[in-house]
Every structure is written in structure tokens, then in C-alpha cells.
Amino acid sequence: MTAPPSIEIVSQASLKGFNSLSLPSSAEFFCSVTDEHQIQQALDYARDNDLTVTPLGGGSNLVLAGDIAGLVIYLDLKGISCHEFDSDVVHISLAAGENWHKAVEYCLEQGWYGLENLSLIPGNIGAAPIQNIGAYGVELRDYFISLKAIDISTGEVVVMDKQACEFGYRDSIFKQALNNRFLITEVTLALSTRANINIGYPALAEALGVGLGQDASTPKMVSAAVCAIRRAKLPDPEVIPNAGSFFKNPVVGSDALNELLKANKTMPHYPQDQGGAKIPAAWLIDQCEFKGLRSGNVGVHEHQALVLVNFGGTGTELLAFAGSIQDAVQERFSIALEIEPRIYGLNE
């Protein structure tokens, strides 16, 4: 039997090409892994050399505020398998390094439906559970069955179901109690073999030319409409470096909402099941006149107030600018905006 290929550990590796904000940063050590055996090798190396481990996917939800100490592991595991099938539902397992959008397209081609509203979200499969990716009324958790992960400190392989992942709005246990504790290697989803159209979003219904909530479209039409809206609305990171939505949409309680509406009668708001309402962060930022504003080498996109863009600046510059937006929104609306991407390298 031939021995599996060994991993190559590179020191002082540039991460500029590995993050969609194109921020300058180096990893003290870096390696790319393609299977579980290589992951164990990388974890052994980190343990032997007392290095912290940072998992890396497509780099589309990161702010690299400085250099990253320890070992950055790029998860490049590939493969999609279908292992349970009945007339209505198919269970598929996707390896962490598969590109999310390509996987959505593949599923559509196979006639496995559910992910079409999540078309064109950048990044890889392994990161999707970290913030429970969502768009146009659908979230990963709606189709999630389980994931396979490796404990960074022990190398133990675990399987976690939906309940164990504690998914929330752009949130999961991996951003909370299990922050940086696991490398996700595989995600298993239950998709439908029957079209299951969700057109609950006005912009999507309008793009499809149907009434809100109607299901007169095919999943491929929904995917195409989502892609068209996203291409028109969001800057392509290849052209203008960005990390998508920079802030989460804040949720305020009923009392705060009433106060806000007294002073801002046209404020858009979306009632939540648990009471109160979600307020679009983009509206708040726009009201504070940041849309299209440039500050040195960073700025807010001219058409999308929620997207911060990088014109060649650093992570610290970007975070200082984000702080000035948070301060302005806090002062005017008494709302604390929370940054959505994960921040690394702050105190290295």
C-alpha cells in the first residue's frame, strides 16, 4: 500500500489572495489539506509545535486585521455523494472544500431542490454551517441534517446534528461555545426531489414576474433570478474586494421599535416571531450618510450601504472605518451594529 501524500507546511505565507477583501496578511504557517489523513498530519504538526489552528475556506467572510499566528489550514476536501433516496427526499454529503455555488448548481442539475435561493453565495461548503448562511428567505438549517468535524485539540472525529449546531440568524455554536474548536470536513443535507419554491421576498417575486408567495416558477428559474439580483446588487469581490454584508441586521425589542418609529416613520422593519422587529442595517447606515463614502483606502459601496469595500487598505483601516459607522448608528438610533465577518489577527 502506498503511503498517503504528506502535507507541505509553508511559513510566512501571504493570505492576500485567500480573502475576498484582499487584505494584506501572512500566516505564520500555512498548509492545504485534501483528506482526513492530511488533516490529522496538520493537527499533529500544530500540537507538536504548540501552534493555534485557524481553518480557512474561500476567505469570503473574513477580516484579516493583521498577520495570523500559528497554522492556517486550507480545507480543500472534494466530493459529493448521494446516499439515501426515496421518492421525495435525497440525502447528500458534500465535502468541505466544494465551492458552495457550484454545489447548488450541481444539485439543481440532478433534480435535488431546496438550495436555489442560496445561489451565488461565495465560499465553500465547510464554512456554510459556521454562520448558517442565508439569503432570500432560506437558511442552511432548513435543509441541514448533520456535519462531520474533527476536534482541533484531540483529532477526534465527531458527527453533529442540527440541534447540536445551535443555528441562529447568521450564527451557530461554531461562533459561540465551539469557536475555533472544530474543522468541518463534510456537510449532509436533505433536499427535495420535488420543486419546493420559496418566493417570499418581494425582490425575488418581482424578478420572476409573479405575485409574492406564488410558486409559478421552476427551481432553475428561481436560481437564475437570485443570481441576476445578486449580480446587480452586490459588487463582485474579484472586481471590488469586499466580504458581502459587513453588519448583521439588528433585531430590536417592541419598546425600542415603537420609540424608533415615532422618530423615523418610514423606517423599514420586519416583525419577528419572538416579538420586536429586524431593521435593515443598510437603511440605518444610509440614513447616517455613509453610502458611497470613501475614507482613505476603504469605503462603503456606492449602491449597497451594507457592503464595505477595500481600495487597497489594511484590516485595521477597515475596522476603524467600520467603528465610525457603528458609532454614528449608535448615536443616532441607539442601535449597536454587529460585524458579520470573522475577525482574525487583531492582536498578533
Which residues have a catalytic role annotated?
170, 245, 340
- Interaxial angle between packed helices 219-233 and 100-110, expressed in degrees from 0 to 180 and rounded to the nearest 10: 160
Window of 52-60, 107-115, 296-304, 318-326 that interacts with ligand FAD by CB under 6 A = 52-60
CB of 332 to ligand FAD, least distance (A): 26
3-state secondary structure 125-176: HHHCCCCCCEECCEEHHHCEEEEEEEECCCCCEEEEEHHHHCCECCECHHHC
CB of 1 to ligand FAD, least distance (A): 28
Do 237 and 130 meet the contact criterion of CB atoms below 8 Å apart?
no
Residue 126 lies near ligand FAD (rule: CB under 6 A): yes
In angstroms, rounded to a whole number, what is the distance separating the alpha carbons of residues 342 and 290? Answer: 22
Window of 6-14, 24-32, 130-138, 312-320 that interacts with ligand FAD by CB under 6 A = 130-138
Helix or strand holding residue 241 (H, E):
none
Among 95, 107, 121, 284, binds ligand FAD (CB under 6 A): 121
CB of 99 to ligand FAD, least distance (A): 9
DSSP β-bridge partners for residue 13: 27
Residue 112: which of 72, 83, 155, 79 has the closest Cα? 83
Whether the CA torsion 214, 218, 220, 221 is positive or negative: it is: negative
Residues 80-99 within binding reach of ligand FAD (CB under 6 A): 96
Do 241 and 20 meet the contact criterion of CB atoms below 8 Å apart?
yes
Residue 146 lies near ligand FAD (rule: CB under 6 A): no
> In angstroms, what is the C-alpha Rg of the chain?
21
Residue 248: which of 134, 89, 137 has the closest Cα? 134
CB of 133 to ligand FAD, least distance (A): 3
In angstroms, rounded to a whole number, what is the distance separating the alpha carbons of residues 133 and 129? Answer: 7
Contact characters 3-32, ligand FAD, x per CB under 6 A: -----------------x------------
Contact characters 175-214, ligand FAD, x per CB under 6 A: -------xxx------------------------------
Residue 173: which of 199, 209, 196, 147 has the closest Cα? 147
Closest CB to ligand FAD among residues 184, 257: 184
The stretches of the chain forming alpha helices (DSSP H) are 36-48, 100-110, 162-165, 202-208, 219-233, 254-263, 281-287, 315-333
Closest CB to ligand FAD among residues 20, 223: 20
Residue 247: which of 126, 348, 328 has the closest Cα? 328
Residue nearest to ligand FAD (CB): 123
Residues 57-76 within binding reach of ligand FAD (CB under 6 A): 57-62, 75
Task: Please tell me the count of residues contacting ligand FAD according to CB under 6 A.
Answer: 33
CB of 195 to ligand FAD, least distance (A): 22
CB of 193 to ligand FAD, least distance (A): 25
Closest CB to ligand FAD among residues 20, 26: 20
Residue 276 lies near ligand FAD (rule: CB under 6 A): no
Residue 285 lies near ligand FAD (rule: CB under 6 A): no
Closest CB to ligand FAD among residues 122, 345: 122
Window of 28-36, 161-169, 239-247, 325-333 that interacts with ligand FAD by CB under 6 A = 239-247
Do 287 and 312 meet the contact criterion of CB atoms below 8 Å apart?
no
Where along the sequence are the contacts to ligand FAD (CB under 6 A)?
20, 54-62, 75, 96, 121-124, 126-128, 130-131, 133-135, 182-184, 234, 237, 242-244, 342
